[in-house]
Amino acid sequence: MTRIVFVLFPGVTQLDMTGPAQFLSRLPGSTTIVAAPSADAVRTDCGFALVPAAAFADTPQADILCVPGGHGVADALECNETIDFIRRQAAGAKWVTSVCTGAFLLGRAGLLEGKRATTHWAYAHLLERVGAMHEPGRVVEDGQTITAGGVTAGIDFALTLIAREAGEDWAKAIQLSLEYDPHPPFDAGTPVAAGAARTEALKARVYTAAAERMAEALKRSQ
């Protein structure tokens, strides 16, 4: 049985977790466990809550550890219970993975030192603060560590990992089963595609302050 453990914290971006979970849960012979400091419901950044399956203390050893991101990462960086759990689980896991800004929780746990990694484009410049070397891409593999870019890249990461574990044919079957065939109505999903003006406007409205908060949290937690 392959145990897939997702780490949950307040302010998580639910799609960072639920996207890959939907795909990875179909990995043959697997079970999915969502873990948090306690068994209480955890509020996501969408306004609704998710209920973990286990408290950290009761979570069995993961074969696949997945750490999602979200605006709540800045606070989670300073939660020693969460960081210690990630570090302990990673020590015995076959795969250590993250989606979006979850990479900074891996880094805070000392798991990205000297590794190539990716994250959401608005935070990529901060990866060096946790010892990682930024490599652009939706999915970046470095040994048994896999990091995914922002939010929706978690689905690509999940398919990549399924192919590593069960073969490409199985990954393609799951892709077909879930009809993952993205054709977005707009071509604005990356800074390059969106253009400098739109990217800078979004950064000014959302991400400049968010990245500064992340940088301060990283500084305090080191």
pTM: 0.97
The CATH number of the domain where 11 resides is what?
Answer: 3.40.50.880
Range of the domain at 105: 2-221
Q: Active site residue: 46, 66, 79, 100, which one?
A: 100
Distance CA 172, CA 178 (A): 10
Number of domains in the chain: 1
Contacts of 185 (CB under 8 A, 6+ apart): none
Please confirm, yes or no, whether 79 is among the known catalytic residues: no
In angstroms, how far is CA 214 from the centroid of its own chain?
Answer: 15
pLDDT of residue 207: 97
Mean pLDDT, consecutive 10-residue segments, the chain of 222 residues? 97 98 97 97 96 97 98 96 98 98 98 98 98 97 98 98 98 98 96 97 96 95 83
CB 174 within 8 A of CB 23: yes
Backbone angles phi, psi at 95, to 5 degrees: -125, 135
Tell the burial category of 81 from Cβ atoms under 10 Å away from its Cβ (0-12, 13-18, 19+).
middle
The CA–CA distances, whole Å, from 205 to 86, 121, 152, 187, 201 equal 32, 15, 21, 20, 6
